[in-house]
Structure 1
């Protein structure tokens, strides 16, 4: 499980849902959609520290910025290590937000020609992000 420390920078509420923007490190932000509001969850306040969690299997890797997709959670980082298996590969990424791990297919790793030192974007859907105090 990826675990990052951040602080809430913005909250947009609609009904019982909140779109929460979290600042991570110097230049990284991430968004999460939660089924709570500032009225129902006291930790949902601008400026409050939060922990951000997401599974390694939910991290998508791209090797350039021009992805015409709807994923807005994009964290720039550098590949520090790749452990290739027959079917799956574990990719370790250093970023301003912290260390990230992605588990992707080895075929995808080879298709993108990923290697140590490459700059990549780690991307996660906002509904896959969990928050905790």
Structure 2
């Protein structure tokens, strides 16, 4: 068995993920983490959030212990938009018996093998 440093392993993993359509993101501060979260949620929900709306989402995500936060991420959040409309914010797509798949507006659909061995369409 050959030895591989952690740095080499990490770089190979990042390269593999990039070939699958993932993008490298620089997160070197809390502000950059929050900016990335906001842009990912906007892309995932196919909308944009004002700073006030995003603050409301962050408050929702901050509530509870680690187990309650896990449940929160699997659910939806009813956001009252700045114009008083209701909007349901999704955080994850989960399907029983399938891989977790999310849509990416820049990627075309591909087939994915589920845990049950069946093929499904993921974006």
What TM-score range do you get, normalising by the shorter chain?
Answer: under 0.3
TM-score normalised by structure 1 residue count: 0.20
Greater RCO, 1 or 2 (C-alpha within 8 Å, sep 6+): 1
Greater C-alpha radius of gyration = 2
Structure with more of its chain in helix, by fraction: 2
Structure with more of its chain in strand, by fraction: 1
